[in-house]
Amino acid sequence: MKKRIAQSLLFIGLLATFIFIWALVEPYFINIEKEEAIIPHLPEEWEGKQIAAVGDFQVGMWMGNEATVRKAAEELVEIKPEAVLLLGDYVYHSVQSEYVERQKVADLIQPLTEADIPVFAVLGNHDYVVESDGAEPNELKAQQITYILEEHGITVLQNEAVPLTLTETGVLTETASPNALYIVGLGASWPGMSDSATALDGVPNSAARIVMMHNPSAFAELPEASAPIAVAGHTHGGQVKIPLIPKEWRLKEEEHADYGWVDDYGAAGNALYINPGIGFSNRPIRFNMPPEITVFTLRSE
């Protein structure tokens, strides 16, 4: 009996050790998640084209996996989608210098910004130095990260939309046309910057669109059938997913940790996908929830 107990304890100890080691290793392996995005009124030119999304770099987090951010940028260059969506929280809490960490963001995504791929971004709560809903935002810090991104050719969307039109030479941005796909970007929720009415203003009712945001809670603000496809970040998927235990929907709670397609949330005719992000929050581990690049293949109804 004692021998059996000792063997069981040894097995449990070895299993715990494996889980701990893997949780430290997994953050450096990127999952390329391929999904279909069904978009009503999708122009024929956009049928089968790809839009990629990634976010939550969290540069500045202790033991942050900055190498994975660079690897994600390189992977996106290889995939070469028609556009890339960055979902916010580029910086975490400053552990060196705020200037150094903002510059790190630019350096890490340089392979992507040097490629001929349109890149669009929204800001997250950490970019405003906000750690809870309703906390006072630091707009100067948000302006500084916005400047860094825009200096490297990334379009930062703050409750606004940009039309994309496919041409023989590539993607033409900021020129409306009947064949345009609109990228709609919402402001960050916790700092109180999200305004869906302003973001959607100017987008024709019949126009195909993809809505991007940092916090999934902003999705609830969107009017019916205004976001047939929306993508958010923020949750990191909880960073740890226990096998065989189904995910719970906790979107109405601050500690929500959902990921992937979300059922029964938001107004009718809207659909939300949550990207688990690249970086960490609080703990530098991931288990059964690797960093993810989401690649959406666009389809009509």
Sequential pLDDT tens for the chain (301 residues): 665 665 555 555 555 555 555 455 667 789 999 999 999 999 999 999 999 999 999 998 877 788 899 999 999 999 999 999 999 999 986 555 677 888 889 999 999 999 989 999 999 999 998 988 888 999 999 999 999 999 999 999 999 999 999 988 888 887 788 899 999 999 999 999 999 999 999 899 999 999 999 999 999 999 999 999 999 999 998 888 777 555 554 444 434 558 899 988 899 999 999 999 998 887 788 888 899 999 999 999 7
* Alpha helix positions (H), the chain: 2-25, 66-79, 98-108, 110-113, 139-151, 196-200
Angle at 67 between CA 262 and CA 185, to 5 degrees: 40
Give the DSSP H/E element, type plus range, for residue 294: strand 292-299
pLDDT digits (tens, 9 = 90+) for 157-187: 999 999 999 988 888 887 788 899 999 999 9
Residue 197 three-state SS: helix
Contact 158, 123 (CB under 8 A): yes
CB atoms within 10 A of CB 167: 11
For domain 2-299, give its CATH number from 3.90.1150, 3.40.50, 3.60.21, 3.40.1130. 3.60.21
For 240, which DSSP code? B
Residue for token pair 């979107």: 251
Return the amino acid letter for 88.
Answer: G
d(CA 78, CA 72): 10
pTM above 0.85, yes or no: yes
Structure tokens at 289: 């929830």
Residue 41 zone, left/alpha/beta (φ > 0; ψ -120 to 50; rest): left
Contact 56, 88 (CB under 8 A): yes
Give the domain ranges of the chain.
Answer: 2-299
Angle at 99 between CA 96 and CA 100, to 5 degrees: 50
